[in-house]
Amino acid sequence: MADGKGAARDFHDPRIPDRNQCVLRYLVDRWAVERPAKTHVIFEDGEEWSFLDLRRRVIEKAAGLQKLGIRQGDHVALWLPNGPDALLAFYAINYIGAVFVPFNTAYRGALLAHVVANSGARVIIVHPELAPRLSEIENAGLTHAVLTTRLEVPDFGLSTSRFEDLSGTEAELLPLDRPIDPWDIQSIIYTSGTTGPSKGVLSSYLHMFSNAGPESWPMVTQDDRYMTVAPIFHIGGMGPPFVMLARGASVAVVNSYSTDTFWDVVRKTETTVVFLLGVMATFLIKQPPSDRDRDHKVKLAFMVPFTDDAPAFKARFGIDIYTIFNMTEISSPIVSEANPVKRGTCGRPRPGVDVRLVDRNDCEVPVGEVGEMIVRTDRPWGMNSGYNANPVATAEAWRNGWFHTGDAFRMDEDGYFYFVDRMKDAIRRRGENISSFEVEAEVCAYAAVRECAAIGVPSEYSEDEVMVVVAPVPGATLDMVALTEFLVARMPYFMVPRYIRVMSELPKTPSAKVLKGDLRKEGVTVDTWDREKAGMRVRRESLTQ
């Protein structure tokens, strides 16, 4: 096997596992020897890769990346929808000790320019339908694009090659500068900012292992197959392949969630574990009952948030329900038992983490009162390593030696935690975290808008809808349709506001800060324009595979 240092252990802290337990390169090598014929990944079209086949494919692309000049520690951007190319690129990047930096496929304009500049990447692996957006921004350090598929792409300012042409043999694979350590950075995942632009979360291999590995989620075993429908640029999409790799287990990679085809895909892929985020469980339980409701191999589901639908879901589909609280920066600190009976709970702290609820001065609040959740782990590197190229945000989040989640919780006398609200201004819509700061920046770019406040208002389905309250430039009249069309061209589909309310002046404090709490309390007023009622629906763009 290439670089036989994976099994070496030159650190002695019992909290740190061996490299071949938590570092992707050594896991790929290990399972190719120990479980060569076992399926590691199955795709929606039925294609399967065994661990032996996976290693061959990964080494071929890893050597190809090295021929482009990518070396250990380099940042490599990936801008692809889910599928074989995305997963293979992810593994190949980490196999040579480079840092995996995926971008949201909905990014464009200012958001795209920000993550490109922040990423520090000079090579991007990109879908040809997305590549033209790069010509609309300053490309910062990007110099080369690796394109998937054979679609023709107009010039967008970078040298190019084809992903299918990235190849090399194991003999051509260059040796690492040093063994990849558990605390080395594995990925940078962008999560929406609330007081500034999106932040890149620095995650080590040990952070990813701790996030949902065998110790954190003991209910998931080496015999399971975990289906991921979340995009690979989210922790919910790139995490499952990694944590199942850590178990020597299997993952089903699906393009996206569809209520109509969900159970068919579950059956086809022989999935045993699913993650039901946001409204997914609600949509599934509202489907007409079928005599095939229990015709599947799923044994457990993670339901986040844990809703009143849980008992009915278990009874109908015969699946044990768990719930958790997690975010990109932390490592599943709150996990429930099977089928919790406490309504609305997120669970209790898992072993190895400390969780406190505190006031604005980091003083612990009494049981039953609301406070901000702060977290730390017993294991070094068990959570994020800060924010990429953002020391101010890192220091703020990690003040007093604890990571501050920015989320408000309460705890009952039995130690169960309950999510209350976001202490930040983030908006969550259909599983996407949205920065109010970024929404406001795009709305204010419209010539007739003087100022804007973006807020979340309750959705009739679950989570939030995006609402903006705007004050026009004096003398200007706002055309809601024209403003919406302007935003559709500039921002991801999930950020486009559904509701627009016009006020001559936004309510403010004496220090000129907008009183968003007052606006949230008023919510959707009679004079608020509703994009969906006006017949304007914004949908996810479909990318050719």
- Identify the domain containing residue 466 by its residue range: 427-530
Pick the more confident residue, 343 or 49. Answer: 49
Query: What is the pLDDT, as a whole number, of residue 467?
Result: 96
Residues 442 and 475 both lie in one domain: yes
Say how many domains are in the chain.
3
Domain membership flag for residue 6: no
Share of the chain above pLDDT 70, in %: 95
Cα radius of gyration (the chain): 23
Helix (H) or strand (E) holding 322: strand 320-322
Residues 409 and 432 both lie in one domain: no
Mean local confidence (pLDDT), 504-530: 84
Pick the more confident residue, 56 or 343. Answer: 56
Question: pLDDT by residue (tens digit) across 364-392?
Answer: 999 999 899 999 999 999 999 999 999 99
Domain membership flag for residue 460: yes
Residue 264 tokens, joined: 């068919």
Domain membership flag for residue 3: no
What CATH number does the domain containing 459 carry? 3.30.300.30
Residues 303 and 434 both lie in one domain: no
Pairing type for strands 432-434 and 449-458 reads unpaired
Q: Is the pLDDT of residue 6 over 80?
A: no
Q: Is the pLDDT of residue 481 over 60?
A: yes
**pLDDT category, 537, cuts 50, 70, 90?**
confident
Q: Which segments within 211-271 are labelled E, that is strand?
A: 225-228, 250-253
Helix ranges (DSSP H) in 436-514: 436-444, 480-488
Please compute, for residue 14, the number of CA atoms within 13 A of its CA located in the half-sphere on the CB side: 1
- Indicate the residue type of 203: S
Residues 135 and 193 both lie in one domain: yes
Residues 46 and 167 both lie in one domain: yes
Residues 451 and 438 both lie in one domain: yes
Domain membership flag for residue 226: no
Task: Report residue 158: phi and psi, to 5°.
Answer: -125, 150
**CA 448 to CA 502: how far, in whole Å?**
12
C-alpha closest to that of 76 among 8, 146, 151:
146
Cα angle: 452, vertex 453, 456; to 5 degrees: 140
The answer to whether the CB of 467 falls within 8 A of the CB of 495 is no
Mean local confidence (pLDDT), 180-188: 98
Residues 431 and 458 both lie in one domain: yes
Query: What is the pLDDT, as a whole number, of residue 5?
Result: 46
Helix (H) or strand (E) holding 433: strand 432-434
Q: Is the pLDDT of residue 208 over 70?
A: yes
Q: Is the pLDDT of residue 493 over 50?
A: yes
Residue owning tokens 């190719």: 32
Query: What is the pLDDT, as a whole number, of residue 435?
Result: 76
Q: What is the mean pLDDT of the chain?
A: 92
Of 106-120, 154-168, 431-445, 504-518, give the lowest mean pLDDT range: 504-518
Residue 368 tokens, joined: 């039953």
Domain membership flag for residue 538: no
Of 146-160, 174-188, 211-225, 528-542, give the lowest mean pLDDT range: 528-542
Q: Which residues face 472 on adjacent strands?
A: 449
Residue 58 tokens, joined: 């990964």
C-alpha closest to that of 512 among 453, 469, 466:
453
**pLDDT category, 4, cuts 50, 70, 90?**
very low
Q: In 3-state terms, what secondary structure has residue 499?
A: strand
Query: What is the pLDDT, as a whole number, of residue 175?
Result: 97
**CA 90 to CA 101: how far, in whole Å?**
9
What CATH number does the domain containing 158 carry? 3.40.50.12780
Query: What is the pLDDT, as a whole number, of residue 511?
Result: 47
